[in-house]
Amino acid sequence: MKRKAAAPRKGRRLAMKTVILAGGKGTRLAEETVTRPKPMVEIGGKPVLWHIMNIYAHHGFKDFVVACGYRGEMIVDYFRNFHLYNAEATFDLRTGAVEKHTNGSPDWRVTLVPTGLETQTGGRVRRLAGLLDGGPFMVTYGDGVGNVDVGGLIDFHRRHGKLATMTVVRPPSRFGIMKLDQDRVVKFEEKPQVHEGWINGGFMVFEPEVLSWIKDDQTILEREILSRLANEGELQAFRHHGFWQPMDNIREKHFLEGLWAEGRAPWKVWED
């Protein structure tokens, strides 16, 4: 039986936790992920996970729960030593003393949870249920960046009163697109977004009731939970018309690296 639609939520934005799914093996990016988890693959010398967290933090959401899996110990090591990786420091090798000269640490709270090597996306979320404070929460993937208006996403979710919201995006082309005048190239656009169809771009919001729909570790969020939500009229789409790009393969990693190196990374919505 379908749930009666809730009334739109009013008032101030709730302080929500952000779940980042960071446990997959990233086999399509094997050049990088043979030695580290995909969220630790770097863009501009920083893990893509750091970039994703900065997007959320820019909009005021700074409480993260990271679902770790494959080589999760590297994510733990990164945050355990975050101050040293992101600050100038002097090491006295005789005494072992460490003197930090600058504090490059943001005001984030990061909870890291081992959720198993073979656990599926829904199962990973289910394992985090006790850490989500019983309220609505956000979920995204640890390998995609975009200039998504997270605040606008939350407001949209609160207005429609359904159980879930998914940010939908136009898929970027896997190849550059050329405009020709006979045999002459008159325009070339590297990785434009196509203008037909919408796909799941991550940056999702869920009401806590959705957790009870996740059966076990083998539940796939996309195939079972999102599909059921859609079938029952409980899934709304937040259309994002701006930049969005996953990092599924080495070509896409190099593309994002190039944007960052040239100082024109559209997902960098935060100030240094």
For 101-120, write each residue's pLDDT tens digit. Answer: 766 678 999 999 999 999 99
Band the pLDDT of 173: cuts 50, 70, 90.
low
Place of tokens 């005021």: 60
pLDDT at 35: 84
Contact 212, 234 (CB under 8 A): no
Contact 129, 111 (CB under 8 A): no
Domain layout of the chain by residue ranges? 17-261
Side-chain half-sphere exposure of 61, counting CA atoms within 13 A: 28
- From 133, 164, 163, select the one nearest 65 (Cα to Cα): 133
Mean pLDDT across the stretch 199-213?
96
CA angle 18-21-26, nearest 5°? Answer: 150
- C-alpha distances (whole Å) from 144 to each of 48, 71, 130, 154 are 8, 19, 26, 19
Which CATH architecture best describes the domain 17-261?
Alpha-Beta Complex (3.90)
Mean pLDDT across the stretch 257-265?
96
Report the DSSP pairing between strands 164-169 and 235-240. Answer: parallel
For 62-86, write each residue's pLDDT tens digit. Answer: 999 999 999 999 999 999 988 888 8
Which run of H or E residues covers position 254? Answer: helix 250-261
- C-alpha distances (whole Å) from 19 to each of 30, 115, 188, 259 are 24, 12, 37, 26
Q: What is the pTM of this model?
A: 0.86
pLDDT over 80 at 17, yes or no: yes
